[in-house]
Structures are given as C-alpha cells and as structure tokens.
Structure 1
C-alpha cells in the first residue's frame, strides 16, 4: 500500500510499504477515504519529537471497513466509520471511567498511558495517512457513520480536532452565556470557538496573527484578536470593560511564539491567566511534552514551563489539561453534524491526493496564506 512516511525533520515521503493487516482477533482493517494533516503532526515534521524514522504518520482518519477479525461482532465490512485518534482497550480503569485517551493497556512505552496512530511515544501503531489502517479493539473504538459520501468533510473532523476543540471548552468549564477566549486560531482553536458557540457562548474571542485564520474565526461569529497588532490581553480586557473572559482555551502548545517568531513556551498560559477573570477556567488542549531538546530555555527542555502560577493561584482560577478522550464526545458531535447544527468543515482549505501529502505538509507548516486545513484522499 501507499503511505506517508516520516524520514527526518522536514522530510516526509509517500512510499510503498507492506499492507496493513488483521493481527489480532479484535482488529478491523479500514480502507481510508479521508485522512487529515493535523497541527500536532507538525511537531514531528519539524523534528521536535522522538518519532522514529520510517513511522507512518496520520491520526485523523475515516473510511470503510474492509475486513474484521473473528472477535469483532458489532462492526462489519462495508461500515463507514470514524477512527478516534485514541487507541483504547475499553476495559481498563481509565477506559471504564471514560478517559480513553489514557488507556492503561495499549501502550508499551514506559511511563505513558494512552496510545494513538502514527504519533511519537504513543505506541507502535502505524498511522492512517495511508491506503489501509489496522484498528485494534474495533468494536469499542470505531464510530459508525451514515453510508455514502455525505458530510465527508465534516465527519473527518470527528477523529480528533472537533472533539478536541469541544474538550477544551469542557475543561475550561464553559457555561451558556459565557465569554470565551480561545488562544490559537489553527484548526483546533477554530473548532474550540465553533464548539463554544454551539454551547451557548455569549461572545468568543479567537487570538492569532494569521489573517486567513482570523477571517475564518469571524465567519463563525467569533471576534478576531490579532496579537501582532496589540497586546491580546489588553484587547480582550478592553472589549470586556476590564472584566476579562469567563473562561479560556489554550490551543497552541509548547511551540508558542511571539509575533517575531521567537518561542516562549509559557506565553499563552500567561496570557490566559491575565485574560480570564478571577475564578474562571482554562482548558489546555495544545500539546505540551515532558522532553523538548530544542526548547528555548533549559527548563522547557525538560517539560518545566514557568508560567505565572502565582497569579493563577491568587485569582482562584482552575485548569484542565490533557488529550481528548474522543469517544466521550464523538457520537453527539456526529449527530450535531447530521442535524445541520455543526459544520466543522468550514475550515477546510485544501483536498489533496495522498501523493501530494509532502506538498501539503510544507505549505501547512509554513502557515502559508489560505492553508488552514489539509485533507488527504488516499483513494484519489
């Protein structure tokens, strides 16, 4: 089969590799119809992770079930499915509590709970930027979708970024009528803003500096905040008469940088502490890692991010963090799409063949104008 392979920093290529196959009785084999380039893939693409050369990338996947192992009873060949990026066993303590992003059984990497497709430290599983994908524990993990091609560009967001954006608002404790500040106008940040609107936010701010992202934020009813034009905290405080937002979402992660491009891993956390009112909540879904040898300072190289915890404490704020347990949200979000209330496909900018994936990575990584979300079609 064809698959997108990581070779080294800024070097990915489409190669012919052995076909994915059924390996365990509870596996399913999915023929991928759409797979996406995720903003978090860029951490690996830029060499800012421990992902090994030869890894097949891709954790935002959907497609048609081609085959199943003898232990699979719910899912059947021909089913159209969304594949959550979390790989979960369904029976450990964390899975039973609904925290499938932190499954205790599926990742042999020491010290890491939780697994994912095609991602550094998240287990030995190949990704889905390929023609075929092996899905372990298929009956538990796969989400069935209506047959056909309808809502393809919306449903493809169910594997990660739409649930992750929703999770950010959940971690922040958003309630109806809240003012929400979303830092980061990439795909996750934009879908956090979309989620906030769906959850009844009175007002949503989206902070970024890229004009195309800010325009998309405005198109869904959010207020764009250009942090290259003026201090984003001051802009939010001015717009809320000094009160600040009721809650905020961090959708940037450990490579946060100022308008000049200089990295400050604590920057967004500090800004959220300032921009969110006393007793407000902060949801962190941007990726942070225990080790980042290329970090801007010595502490951050070892995962120690020195944000303004003193002010955070004195303001009585609360913070939720961590990868999204997709199964907690994806069925409800699927039904919002079917009902026409949720349209996460608004951020799609490019649809490309798998062969063109290296070009997609280059443009998306450079934040080239108009490259907001790239979908890959392995079958085209």
Structure 2
C-alpha cells in the first residue's frame, strides 16, 4: 500500500510499504478516506523528536471498516469510523477512569504511558497517512459515523484536534460567561476557541502573529490578538480593563517563540500566568517533550521548562495538562456536528492527494499564508 514515511529531518516520502493487516483477534482494518497533517507531526518532520526513520506517519484518521478480527463484535465491515489518535486497551485502570490517552497497556516503551499511531515514543504502531490502517482493540477505539461522505471535513477533526481543543477548555474550567485567552491560532488553538464559544464564553481572545489564522479566529467570533504588534498580555489586559481573563488555553507547546522567531519554551506559560486572573484556570494542550535535543538551553533539552511558577502559586491559579482522552468527548462532538452546532471543518485550507503529502508537509511547515489545515486523501471521495 502507499504510505507517508519519515526519512529524516524535513524529508518525508510517499512510497510502497507492507499492507496493513489484521494481526490480533481484536484488530480492525480501516480503509482510509481522509487523514490529516497535524501540527505535532511537524515536530517529527523538523527532526525535533526521536522518531525512527521509516515510520509511517499520521494520527488523525478516518475511513471505512473493511475487515474485522474474530473477537470484534460491535464494529462491522462497512462502518464509517473516526479513529481516535489514542490507542486504548479499554480495560486498564486509566482507561476505565476515562483517561484513554494514558493507557497503561498499549505502549511497551519503558517509562511511557499512552499510545498513538505514527508518532515518536508512542509505541510501535504505524500511522494512517496511508491507504489502510490497522486499529488495535477496534471495538474499544472506533467511533461510528453516519454513512456516506457528508461532514467529511468536520468529522475528520474528531480524531484529534477538535477533542484536543475541547480538552484544553475542560482543563482550564471554561464555563458560560468566561473570558478566555487562547495562545496559538494553529488548528488546536482554533478548535479551543471554537469549543469555548460553543460552551458560552463571553469573549475569546486568540493570540498569534499569522494574519490568515487570526482572520479564521475572527470569522467564528473570537478576537484576534497579533503579538507581533505588541505585548499580547498588555493588549488583553487593556481589553479587559485590567481584570484579565478567567481562563487560558496553551495551544503552542515547547517551540513557542517571540516575534523574531527565537524560541522561548516558557513564553506562553508566562504570558498565561500573567493574563489569567487570580484563581483562574489554565489548560495546556500544546506539546511538551521529556527531551528536546534541539532546544536552546541545556535545561530545555532535558524537558525542564522554567516558567513563572512563583506568580502562578501566588495567584492561586490551577493548571491541567496532557494529551486529550479523545473518547471522553468524540461522541458528543460528533453529535454537535450532525446538529449543525459545531463546524470544525472551517479550518481546512487544503485537500491533497496522498501522493502530494511531501509538498503538504513542506508548505504547512513553512507556515505559508493560507496553509492552515491540510487533509490528505488516498483516493477521491464519492460525490
């Protein structure tokens, strides 16, 4: 089958790889209809992780079931499904408590919990930027969708970024009437803004410097804050008459940088501590790594990020972190899409054939104007 394979920093190749197959009784084989390039894929693409050469990439996947293992009873051949990026066993302590993003059984790498498709340190699983994908524990993991091709661009966000954006607002504690600051207007940040507005936030400030992304934020009713035009904390404090926001979402991660492009991994955390009011909440869904050999400082290379913890403590703020347990949210978010209450596909900028993945990676990584969210299609969808 054709698949997107990591070859080294800034180098991916679409090539033939062994077919995905049913290997265990609980496996399901999915024919991919849409798979996305995620902003976190760019960490691997840029050589900022320990991903091995030859890895099939892709953790944002959806498609149609074409084969099931003998122990699969819920999912059927022909089902249209969304594949959460978390690979969960469904029976360990964390899974039973709803923390499928921290499954204790699916990642054999020592010291790691939680598994995912096609990602560094997340287990031996191939990704879905390919024609087919093997899904372990298929009855546990797969979300069934309405038949056909309707809402394809919306539903493809259910595997990761829409639940991740929603998770950011959950970790922050967003409730109706809150003012919310979202740092980062990439796909996850835009999904966090969309989620906060669906939840009834009074105002959502979205901080970035990319004009196209800020326009998208404003198109859904958020307030764009361009940090290249001045200190974003000052801009938001002025807009809130010095009060600050009730909640904040970190959707940038360890490659946060200033307007000149110089990296400061603590920058967004410091800004959120400053802009969120005393006793307010912060949700961190931007990716941070235990090791980052490409970081500027020795501490950051070891995953040690020195943010303004003293002020955080003094203000009595709370902070939640970590990857989203997709299955905690995806059914509800699917139904919001079907009802027309959520339209996460508004962020899609490009829909490319799978064979054009290398170009998609390169242009998305360069943050070219208008390249906001790239979808890959192994074959054309039926009209």
What is residue 356 of structure 2 aligned with on the other side?
A: 356
Q: Hey, what's the Cα distance between the residues in 2 that align with 1:148 and 1:293? A: 45
Q: Hey, what's the Cα distance between the residues in 2 that align with 1:111 and 1:17? A: 29
**SS of match in other structure, 2:228:** coil
What is residue 196 of structure 2 aligned with on the other side?
A: 196
Deviation at 1:76?
0.7
What is residue 57 of structure 1 aligned with on the other side?
A: 57
Q: Hey, what's the Cα distance between the residues in 2 that align with 1:293 and 1:276? A: 31
What is residue 110 of structure 1 aligned with on the other side?
A: 110
Q: Hey, what's the Cα distance between the residues in 2 that align with 1:124 and 1:379? A: 26
What is residue 175 of structure 2 aligned with on the other side?
A: 175
Q: Deviations over 1:303-339 (max 9, x none)?
A: 0000000000000000000000000000000000000
What is residue 28 of structure 2 aligned with on the other side?
A: 28
Q: Hey, what's the Cα distance between the residues in 2 that align with 1:345 and 1:291? A: 33
What is residue 302 of structure 2 aligned with on the other side?
A: 302
What is residue 283 of structure 1 aligned with on the other side?
A: 283
What is residue 154 of structure 1 aligned with on the other side?
A: 154
**SS of match in other structure, 2:54:** coil
Q: Deviations over 1:61-83 (max 9, x none)?
A: 00000000000000010000000
Deviation at 1:296?
1.2
Q: Deviations over 1:289-308 (max 9, x none)?
A: 10001101111000000000
**SS of match in other structure, 2:229:** coil
Deviation at 1:370?
0.1
Q: Deviations over 1:142-170 (max 9, x none)?
A: 00000000000000000000000000000
Q: Hey, what's the Cα distance between the residues in 1 that align with 2:35 and 2:337? A: 18
**SS of match in other structure, 1:62:** strand
Q: Deviations over 1:212-235 (max 9, x none)?
A: 000000000000000000000000
What is residue 231 of structure 1 aligned with on the other side?
A: 231
What is residue 213 of structure 2 aligned with on the other side?
A: 213
What is residue 328 of structure 1 aligned with on the other side?
A: 328
**SS of match in other structure, 1:306:** coil
Q: Deviations over 1:189-222 (max 9, x none)?
A: 0000000000000000000000000000000000
Deviation at 1:375?
0.3
Q: Hey, what's the Cα distance between the residues in 2 that align with 1:376 and 1:343? A: 19
What is residue 14 of structure 1 aligned with on the other side?
A: 14
Q: Hey, what's the Cα distance between the residues in 2 that align with 1:259 and 1:368? A: 16
Q: Hey, what's the Cα distance between the residues in 2 that align with 1:56 and 1:17? A: 9
Q: Deviations over 1:342-366 (max 9, x none)?
A: 0000000000000000000001000
Structure 1 unaligned spans of 5+: none
What is residue 141 of structure 2 aligned with on the other side?
A: 141
Q: Hey, what's the Cα distance between the residues in 2 that align with 1:331 and 1:242? A: 39
What is residue 379 of structure 2 aligned with on the other side?
A: 379
Deviation at 1:15?
0.5
Q: Deviations over 1:39-80 (max 9, x none)?
A: 000000000000000000000000000000000000010000
What is residue 187 of structure 2 aligned with on the other side?
A: 187
Q: Hey, what's the Cα distance between the residues in 1 that align with 2:88 and 2:167? A: 18
TM-score (norm 2): 0.99
TM-score (norm 1): 1.00
**SS of match in other structure, 2:249:** strand
**SS of match in other structure, 1:116:** coil
Q: Hey, what's the Cα distance between the residues in 2 that align with 1:341 and 1:378? A: 29
**Equivalent residues in 2 for 1:61-76 (5 A)?**
61-76=61-76
Q: Hey, what's the Cα distance between the residues in 2 that align with 1:296 and 1:349? A: 32
Q: Which runs of 4+ in 1 moved over 4 A?
A: none
Structure 2 unaligned spans of 5+: none
What is residue 84 of structure 1 aligned with on the other side?
A: 84
